[in-house]
Structure 1
Amino acid sequence: MNEFEVRLEGRRRLQIAGPMTLSTAPDWRQRLQAATDAAGDMEVDLSGVSAIDASAIQSLVCLRQRARDSARRLRLLAPSTCVHEALDFCHLSEFFEIPRASRP
């Protein structure tokens, strides 16, 4: 998928497709912020992410910390291969809650 897309399903599940890079950051950061502001636990489906860079990793870390600080859960669902590799490279795979069925 060449286009960047973010879908907020209900109020707690966010699906991101396309590149999560500095060039698309204004779009997905705004949507992540809106999802963070919603009540309850949150799930972020990353199965459609085609590229990820340090700015996106930093935003996910901040999102995880904000969720933890407000006693909520953040789950990363079905991270694409590039997301999984980036999290492994940064030694962050265990920092995030990624359901076993969602791991490659």
Structure 2
Amino acid sequence: DHVFANCMTYIADGVAGEQFENHKKYLDIHLVISNTEKMAVSTPQDASSKTEFDVENDFELFNSKKYQIVELNETNLLVTFEEDLHQPKVRVNDQTVKKLVIKVLN
């Protein structure tokens, strides 16, 4: 598939800097439909690999202590490319977040 989407509902309860991910096959478009979510974003130069790259599931996990926080809500979006390590689900409040992640073949 060249493009597909995952719709998710959850309570964002993560702590920034805990675990970052990246993808090589697909880029992500993160679009919050309701509520607010923070995402931590880092670079491979500022991180250390936590796992081997999982080719089948298109992700690798990283640790990083250097990152920036992006706040997503219904008025903006975030596009993450292979070089963008990202940690979704960083806590803002205790309300349910509804989010669409569109995956586009890189």
TM-based fold match above 0.5 = no
Larger CA Rg, structure 1 vs 2: 2
**Which structure's relative contact order is higher, taking Cα pairs within 8 Å and 6+ residues apart?**
2
Pick the structure with more strand per residue: 2
Shorter chain as denominator, the TM-score bin is under 0.3
